[in-house]
A and B are shown apart, each in its own frame.
Chain A
């Protein structure tokens, strides 16, 4: 800023007009950034600091005197069976869903990259699970997974596969399977559309040249297409990991973390502890356990973006 100002000296005794000040890039830039930065500082930066503060105290909705307790909240969680179970659930849920979303996403993208009739309509329809409010589509899944009236159970019993239907949301491992199914359903379109955009940047001539040289369809896919779309795949996966680790809505609507905490994720456990139980400090600590994973994702993405921009 200073340097800019010195370059255009103002005659002594004559104050620059507002217009002149604003035309200095250094000043103007921060004026333009100010509104956005204010909002982000007030409702992301400040809550983050508050979160750190809450997590080292013993604040609840009923405490009048707040005490500093150091890292007790964090170490208490590590001794809690429910918390450890929740961490396991979160990793299983994230790991399994991201693998399936990636596999189905690549498949769907390759399919959509062919030319066929009604392509635009198909593309529009396939993104629907991703764009409608998750809390609302989860209601459809709640009914689809109903213990008594599940249409899947109707099909299982009618087709004679089994005498009785599955207790989808009422039994630990089936409940985890159910939320995984719903999450894969919701997230696959995002993978597919992003990877499709990546596929469309692959140079046709490269593929044709390889075909002329005798590379099979399969070889062309693995040796040319996949390496070229790897950056897109990496970014989409990182975004997906961040949003799946921090997922809330599907579990809140489908299982509330049950049965017996078998589907609790960090977000839903923090909600139960802080909002329903009123233990703000403990809830903040549970949420903060997401942070290390987020840091890793942010660092990888930033490094990647820096490398690709230079």
Chain B
């Protein structure tokens, strides 16, 4: 292909796609830096900031619970991810390696829970959370998020465990090691890339979760970033646009950063289910 033809068939459509997909983020950024006066000024060019200000960020940190929400989101995500990884490593290993009655049924059941959306169950879960006395606590999210994370992680790790040659483990078993020992010392280190993928995935999904966090909490102190930003920066009819954008941007940065460091892991995790089936 000639250079000009490449421009038309690759770079032009690619630039167009990039503009469409990234424009909302650019918009978040410049909106968060505009003064309130500039925000509602329709006479100027809206695509640039002429009087940049950090006042919306100051408001976010000083006047709202944003830092608290960030801490909550981090705590919930880390603990829910740890719980999910522990459960998924054990379950994934059992399903991939051990022969037992009901193995197929168990794998099928876990796969089905993978497809259960949060909107199907949030009403009864709200009741259950209330009965357990967990309403308005971080625990309500720490304990329920793993239901979103375990099915996926187990499925992903099962694939990883299967890709590790059985012989490595069997030679350890012959040498007298127990199964648990062989798993911990031989299989787990080799499965680290898969565990990392599952962990990144689980963390991002927890960070992004919305509906459970919305219905299980109502006090400012317990909210997560997505719920806090959406519910507390709108007072009646008044939208604090600058701070809304600042909060939305800062709330997106951690997942975007993690993701950019591990983009290959992420993509391989994302597509593992679809491609390998």
B residues within 8 A CB of A47?
121, 124-125, 128
B residues within 8 A CB of A134?
208, 210
A65, chain B: closest CB distance, angstroms: 16
A residues within 8 A CB of B214?
252
A235, B274: Cβ atoms under 8 Å? Answer: yes
B31, A143: Cβ atoms under 8 Å? Answer: yes
Known contacts A116-B11, A266-B119; is A33 also within 8 Å of B91 by CB? yes
* CB nearest neighbor in B for A265: B119
* CB nearest neighbor in A for B99: A25
- Which of B14, B25, B208 meets A133, CB within 8 Å? B208
A32, B93: Cβ atoms under 8 Å? Answer: yes
Q: Give Cα distance in the complex from A231 to B263, angstroms.
A: 24
B42, A36: Cβ atoms under 8 Å? Answer: no
A219: interface (CB < 8 Å): no
B22, A29: Cβ atoms under 8 Å? Answer: no
A: interface residue count bin: 35 or more
B174: interface (CB < 8 Å): no
- Which of B124, B239, B266 meets A50, CB within 8 Å? B124
A residues within 8 A CB of B146?
39, 43
* CB nearest neighbor in A for B26: A140
A129, B21: Cβ atoms under 8 Å? Answer: yes
- A295-310: CB near B (< 8 Å → 1, else 0) gives 0011001101100110
B150, A132: Cβ atoms under 8 Å? Answer: no
Known contacts A283-B123, A287-B122, A287-B123; is A302 also within 8 Å of B113 by CB? no
B residues within 8 A CB of A30?
94, 100
B260, A248: Cβ atoms under 8 Å? Answer: no
* CB nearest neighbor in B for A119: B14
A25, B100: Cβ atoms under 8 Å? Answer: yes
B260, A133: Cβ atoms under 8 Å? Answer: no
* CB nearest neighbor in B for A35: B87
B98, A40: Cβ atoms under 8 Å? Answer: no
Most chain B CB atoms below 10 A, which of A23, A25, A123, A252: A25
Binds A, one of B52-60, B164-172, B248-256: B248-256
- Contacting A at CB under 8 A, from B202-216, are 204, 207-208, 210-211, 214-215
A92: interface (CB < 8 Å): no
- B99-119: CB near A (< 8 Å → 1, else 0) gives 111010010111111011111
B117, A294: Cβ atoms under 8 Å? Answer: yes
B123, A298: Cβ atoms under 8 Å? Answer: no
* CB nearest neighbor in B for A273: B123
Q: Give Cα distance in the complex from A213 to B256, angstroms.
A: 46
B226: interface (CB < 8 Å): yes
A125, B252: Cβ atoms under 8 Å? Answer: no
B: interface residue count bin: 35 or more
A207: interface (CB < 8 Å): no
Q: Give Cα distance in the complex from A141 to B14, angstroms.
A: 22
B90: interface (CB < 8 Å): yes
Known contacts A22-B180, A288-B120; is A131 also within 8 Å of B110 by CB? no
Most chain A CB atoms below 10 A, which of B27, B47, B87, B204: B87
A123, B46: Cβ atoms under 8 Å? Answer: no
B270, chain A: closest CB distance, angstroms: 6
B245: interface (CB < 8 Å): yes
B229, A249: Cβ atoms under 8 Å? Answer: no
B178: interface (CB < 8 Å): yes
A residues within 8 A CB of B122?
270-271, 287
B residues within 8 A CB of A232?
274-275
A272, chain B: closest CB distance, angstroms: 11
* CB nearest neighbor in B for A104: B17
B4, chain A: closest CB distance, angstroms: 14
- Contacting B at CB under 8 A, from A235-256, are 235-236, 239, 242-243, 245-249, 252-253
Binds B, one of A75-83, A94-102, A168-176, A191-199: A191-199
A248, B93: Cβ atoms under 8 Å? Answer: no
B31, chain A: closest CB distance, angstroms: 6
Smallest CB-CB A-B distances: 7 pairs: A246-B117, A267-B119, A197-B271, A36-B87, A50-B124, A132-B252, A136-B248
What would 14 more interface pairs be, CB under 8 Å, given A133-B225, A274-B126? A29-B94, A32-B90, A36-B90, A36-B91, A46-B128, A54-B124, A114-B10, A122-B18, A123-B267, A133-B208, A136-B249, A140-B248, A280-B123, A309-B277
21 A-B residue pairings within 8 Å (CB atoms): A22-B180, A30-B94, A36-B110, A40-B147, A43-B125, A43-B144, A48-B120, A50-B124, A132-B252, A132-B255, A133-B251, A135-B210, A135-B227, A194-B270, A194-B271, A197-B271, A235-B273, A239-B115, A249-B226, A275-B126, A301-B115
Please give the residue numbers on chain A whose beta carbons come within 8 Å of chain B beta carbons, in ascending order. 1, 19, 22-23, 25-26, 28-30, 32-33, 35-37, 39-40, 42-44, 46-48, 50-51, 54, 107-108, 111, 114, 116, 120, 122-129, 131-137, 139-144, 148-149, 151, 154, 185, 188-190, 193-194, 197-198, 201, 231-232, 235-236, 239, 242-243, 245-249, 252-253, 266-267, 270-271, 274-275, 280, 283-284, 287-288, 290-291, 294, 297-298, 301-302, 304-305, 308-309
